[in-house]
Structure 1
Amino acid sequence: MDVSVENSGGLKRRLKVQIPADRVNSAVDDKVKRVGQHARIPGFRPGKAPRKILYQRYGAQARQEAVSELVQSTYPEAVEQSELNPAGQPEIELDAFEENGPLSFTASFDVYPEIELKGLDAIAVEKPVAEVTDADIDNTLERIKDQNKSWEEVDRESADGDQVVVDYVGRIDGEAFEGGSADDMEITLGEQQFLPDMERGLVGRKPGETFQIDVTFPEDYGAEDLAGKPAVFDVELKAVKEAKPAELDEDFIRQMGIEDGTSESLRARIRESLEQEVKRAIETSVKTQTLDALHDANSIDVPESMVAEEIDRMRREAMQRMSQQMQVDEEQARQLLPDDRLREQATKRVALGLLIAEVISAKELELDQDKVAEKIDEVASGYGDQAEAVKNYYQQNPQLMQGLQAMVMEQQVVDNLLNDAAITEKETELDELLNANRQQG
């Protein structure tokens, strides 16, 4: 078998393979013989038909199957012979070939980059330091009251913070358009979850009013047929509602899982929760800084095929999150999250994955099974009485375990890199730390 390699630039390679004619013919013969053993041909007993007749009937199909199997079986041989390290699946292109002649094909693929790690002894990290205070607990209680607020109708003009109930019909050039009308739509003013022009036009209105609002759709609006276009909405404002924060009385506190229903126990639970969140946020900040430093110190080419796979994976994850709020099919997801929008982050993720793998190899790190068990316990602890069932579920699900082991291994890499890092502490406001962590999540 003849094998040659073409460098197509960067990490792209073209592997040209030629399989000798005798090997091809032998594979075809084997196929025809196996078919002939069971073929029912008029005038002949099974397995007794002449070779010529078998070839006339089954030769083309046998050759097609033999060629497919030869390509699949010889590709790994050719890769090993060429001493290349492919990243991802190849694109196979068959060359034209004659009957009884050699078979040639070309496999195009990316290879993994050669990495020489640098800068591992120059990593610098600012470790955030934040303390949970009584004021932080007070702020959390206010957020809980707001998150559980009720709405009461009022007879006055609407203002930011109110919720309005409206019927509306939108028209462009006098024609109603799809998705431009609704009945009993609830809109909370000031949250900027609706069209800005529409929200502004709903402020200062009283229940029972009917009016028109001129709206211009943003240029980057998700529906391309509406982006940048002016529209007129006929609106009936049916109700104005005022927010009433929840009362943190004994019944409400019990509903939050605090058995004794006291504010003291609620505050203690909030403090514990905030302290755990602070711990996770600090770990995330340190980890992010460490991996960013590793990435910045080691600029590497990444296989485009791996970037494409990562883009698809990121889009699927986004679709799962979006499906909790609205139905989104794959085509809509591609419009909302085109490749170009995801490419930079996907490229960085792939590069970090390759660099982490190189650190594991260079440092001869092995997965710590005790840390895996600790991680399972940590995940399960958030499920209360169901913790044991969750642990069993993880342990019996290879895919979940693989993901969890990857997380543990990544943390082991970070811990190893931190051994030689310069770490300084930085006093940080609690909200700043937690908000940064939530945005990263």
Structure 2
Amino acid sequence: MEESRVKVSVETPSSYQKVLTIEVPSETVTAEIENIYSRIKKTATHPGFRPGKVPRKILEKKFSDSIRAEAIESTVSSTLKQVLEEQHLVPLTTPDFEDVTFEGEGPLSFKVTIEVEPTIELGEYKGLELKRPKAAVSEEDVQRVLERLQLSNAKYIPAERPVEKNDIVVIDFEGFEGGKSVEGLKAENFSVEVGAGMFAGESESQFVGMKKGETGNISVKYPDDFSTKELAGKQIVLSVTVKDVKIRQLPDLDDEFAKDLGTYTTLEELKQSVRENLQKDLAKRLEQFTREQALMTVLANTKVEIPPKLRSRVGASIFEEEVRKLAYRGADKETITAARDKISEFAEAEAARQLKVTFVADEIARRENLSVTDEELSQSIEETIAQAEDEDPRIRTYFNSERVRDRYREQMRIRKILDFIVSNATIVEVDPAETPADSAQTPEPEGGES
């Protein structure tokens, strides 16, 4: 192909779109036709002729239309590749071809529409003022963790008396509506903490006074918005047999309790460990909160058109992922079908948001020369593996996937860009009520275990 004789005109209907009108000399197509005939002739067969000796006229009669179509397709493809390189254009989606014309005498002409990275009006990203809520670990936060540790180390003692509130009752039950068994509402050796709200409404209070070995009926009225659609709004009778009644006995919060956990000698040491872990966790979440606020601030001040084909492709991927999540959580086909419109609406909005984040990140990365090196990627992956390998030995194999590593690198890149924005911002600590209304949820200390 003689690239110098190819004629190209470029139009820009929008910031994300290029329309290329291309003309290729007829000799280029003719030469490609000859190349294809030469290739076919080497292996073509026909009665009365040895392989490779079939006359050209017979080949033309048999293959002319398909060879011409192949030559045009090949020339269009190779020419477009060359033009894109010369014009420094990178399509984000599959090009759309139209008006492909070749009459034989004149040039091959065609028009191509492509989506490219859009022009972006980037908002301010240096010198921002970011509001971070004041937050600290309180003694109440520490106490909540200790109480959870108490619960997880509680002993359960058989009760030789009728059921009382807060007892643990082990039951067999089956649900009935109008005298007919309700599918899926049946279990054996099911534990219920009386008064904890596991069953709808105040129905658990009906356990009070029952004895081990006793069988009775519990009436349950499920609310109209109950998560299990089949039970929503219904009045169900549970036939219940009490198999065991247990009293929860909490250990005392003292030095012996701390020693029983294995790594502490005093209760004060345990409290200090809990406090330090809560402080580390709070610091991480405040850091993430600030990153998210920085991102939302830059996005709000940035103007960019999202390429529609690219948005549709990303949206379709998000839609499929959300459907998979629903199915994994046990949703049936009817539930998923009913939710399709909401999922589709979410997927479209999320695709636009993700792409805007990507375009903003790309622009800041170009301006500030920010990237993730192979060494940084490998080090971060190894740290992640070291933290999780004991719980999931498959994690190293997971990170062997090039696709996974690319996705992880992109996450690291976004985080590095956000850290750059935060490092160039002024952080103002304010009362939680003064944080922007559209900010991420204000972090509070979580009662995780030490």
Q: TM-score, normalised by structure 1?
A: 0.72
Report the Cα distance in structure 1 between the residues aligned to 2:116 and 2:35, rounded to whole angstroms.
35
Report the Cα distance in structure 2 between the residues aligned to 1:303 and 1:191, rounded to whole angstroms.
51
Report the Cα distance in structure 2 between the residues aligned to 1:337 and 1:95, rounded to whole angstroms.
39
1:424 alignment partner, SS class: strand
1:135-214 alignment, distance < 5 Å: 135-146=140-151, 155-156=162-163, 166-169=173-176, 181-184=185-188, 199-200=200-201, 202-206=203-207, 208-210=215-217
Contact 1:14 1:107 in 2 (8 A): yes
1:163-188 per-residue CA deviation (whole Å, 9 max, x = no partner) reads 876422568xx9999x6654557777
Report the Cα distance in structure 2 between the residues aligned to 1:182 and 1:400, rounded to whole angstroms.
42
1:115-162 per-residue CA deviation (whole Å, 9 max, x = no partner) reads 243323441123445443443222112234446778889854889998
Contact 2:167 2:246 in 1 (8 A): no
Identify if the C-alpha distance between structure 1 residues 94 and 31 changes in structure 2 by more than 3 Å, giving closer, same or farther.
farther
Kindly provide the amino acid, as one letter, of the partner of residue 73 in structure 1: S
Match of 2:425 among 404, 421, 426: 421
Q: How far 1:37 moved relative to its partner?
A: 0.9
Report the Cα distance in structure 2 between the residues aligned to 1:12 and 1:62, rounded to whole angstroms.
33
1:50-129 alignment, distance < 5 Å: 50-80=55-85, 84-86=89-91, 88-95=92-99, 100=104, 105-129=110-134
Kindly provide the amino acid, as one letter, of the partner of residue 201 in structure 2: R
Identity of aligned pairs, percent? 18
Report the Cα distance in structure 2 between the residues aligned to 1:157 and 1:394, rounded to whole angstroms.
50
Deviates more, 1:134-143 or 1:289-298: 134-143
Contact 2:133 2:432 in 1 (8 A): yes
Tell me, yes or no, if structure 1 residue 289 matches structure 2 residue 293. yes
1:38 alignment partner, SS class: coil
Structure 1 unaligned regions, length at least 5: none
Match of 1:433 among 440, 443, 446: 443
Report which of the two structures shows the higher radius of gyration computed on alpha carbons. Answer: 2
Kindly provide the amino acid, as one letter, of the partner of residue 417 in structure 1: I
Contact 1:12 1:109 in 2 (8 A): yes
Q: How far 1:412 moved relative to its partner?
A: 3.0
Q: How far 1:410 moved relative to its partner?
A: 2.7
Identify if the C-alpha distance between structure 1 residues 400 and 39 changes in structure 2 by more than 3 Å, giving closer, same or farther.
same
Structure 2 unaligned regions, length at least 5: 1-5, 434-440
Report the Cα distance in structure 2 between the residues aligned to 1:407 and 1:199, rounded to whole angstroms.
42
Report the Cα distance in structure 2 between the residues aligned to 1:21 and 1:35, rounded to whole angstroms.
21
Instruction: Report how many residues are paired.
Output: 423
Kindly provide the amino acid, as one letter, of the partner of residue 443 in structure 2: L
Identify if the C-alpha distance between structure 1 residues 29 and 235 changes in structure 2 by more than 3 Å, giving closer, same or farther.
farther
Identify if the C-alpha distance between structure 1 residues 38 and 279 changes in structure 2 by more than 3 Å, giving closer, same or farther.
same
Kindly provide the amino acid, as one letter, of the partner of residue 119 in structure 2: E
Q: How far 1:2 moved relative to its partner?
A: 4.7
Identify if the C-alpha distance between structure 1 residues 56 and 130 changes in structure 2 by more than 3 Å, giving closer, same or farther.
same
Residue in 2 aligned with 1:30?
Answer: 35
Contact 2:175 2:185 in 1 (8 A): yes
1:365 alignment partner, SS class: coil
Report the Cα distance in structure 1 between the residues aligned to 2:442 and 2:50, rounded to whole angstroms.
84
Following TM superposition, the consecutive aligned residue runs of length 4 or more in structure 1 with deviations greater than 6 angstroms are 148-154, 157-164, 174-177, 185-193, 240-243, 248-256, 384-387, 389-395
Report the Cα distance in structure 2 between the residues aligned to 1:378 and 1:118, rounded to whole angstroms.
34
Q: TM-score, normalised by structure 2?
A: 0.70
Residue in 1 aligned with 2:437?
Answer: none
